[in-house]
Amino acid sequence: MKATALSGELVATGLQKWYYPKGQPSVHVLDDCSFDIEPGKLTVVMGTSGCGKSTLAYILCGYLNPDGGQVTMDGQLVKEPCSSRLMVFQETALWPWMTVLQNVTFGPLAASNANRKEATQKALELLRKFGLSEFKDKYPGQLSGGMKRRAELAQALINSPAVMVLDEPFRGLDVMTRELMQEYYIKLFEETRLTTVFITSELEEAIFLADRILIMSETPSKIIHALEVDLPHPRTFDVLTSERYLDIKKEALEALYGNSMQHIC
């Protein structure tokens, strides 16, 4: 399950995206949005609500095509979804009529060359890692919010993607469950070094998780600031009281506040 250090480089160049809602004025969402995602790193993309973060995530995964510019992955043009780039959405992706184990094994078993025994063994190992072994025969409706999120991570990871894109995956969870999920994911990332793009509007979450933070402007959006997060690994919540954390938070807030003020003025 460990990603190679050189897989999953994403490069976005000059992205443009417009929406044309019926009977309403067009909406310019992305404007000359350019950045790179370094392989083997956890990059957080953050910005205010409605700034186009989810649109950007869909373009990175190939679910949407830009109206201008392009995205490449390891030098190849991204034009459509593929199993090497998988996304965990804000909404649940678990099928309610399937057990947890059936949900997790669905992806590899849908592949023509999948081996049921191997897929089941791999799924059981992932469920053990996520603390869900005892819930493998439960249905999604019998799980808590945090359990569903863990099951969805296992559902994606079993397919061995080169890139994971997570679109505000812990949104809507209570504070304690959200912190537990952040700890789950950072430990998983430190083990696998799987190239990760994590979308959030929460600054503390961004700093705790990230190797690098890309800050988006208000719409029409672009990346206005890139911030390296050099907090130590393995990372625990103790870093939130460190002097370096406060420096990073100050720099991020200045970028966010400065852009918001320009937009208001």
Does the pLDDT at position 257 exceed 80? no
Give the chain's radius of gyration (CA, Å). Answer: 19
Helices 116-129 and 100-110, packing angle to 10 deg: 130
What is the C-alpha end-to-end distance of the chain, expressed in Å? 49
Q: Which amino acid is it at 136?
A: K
Does the pLDDT at position 4 exceed 80? no
Continuous segment of H or E residues that includes residue 103: helix 100-110
Does the pLDDT at position 202 exceed 60? yes
| Domains of the chain and CATH, by start | 1-84+166-173+187-265 (3.40.50.300), 89-160 (no CATH)
Count, residues in the chain: 265
Average pLDDT, the chain: 90
Does the pLDDT at position 229 exceed 90? yes
Q: Average pLDDT for residues 207-217, to the nearest whole number?
A: 96
Query: What's the token pair of residue 249?
Result: 């938070």
In terms of pLDDT, which residue wins out, 85 or 107? 85
Q: Average pLDDT for residues 5-30, to the nearest whole number?
A: 90
Query: What's the token pair of residue 245?
Result: 């954390």
Give the strand pairing for 195-200 and 163-167.
parallel
Among 10-14, 88-92, 103-107, the minimum mean pLDDT is found in 88-92
Query: Cα(247)–Cα(242) distance, rounded to whole angstroms?
Result: 9
Q: Average pLDDT for residues 58-82, to the nearest whole number?
A: 95
Q: Which amino acid is it at 255?
A: A
123-144 residue pLDDT tens: 999 999 888 999 999 999 999 9
- Torsion angle, CA of 50/53/57/59, rounded to 10 degrees? 70
Q: Average pLDDT for residues 21-27, to the nearest whole number?
A: 89
**Cβ pair 15, 72 in contact under 8 A:** no
Asked if residue 108 has a cis previous peptide bond (ω within 30° of 0), the answer is no
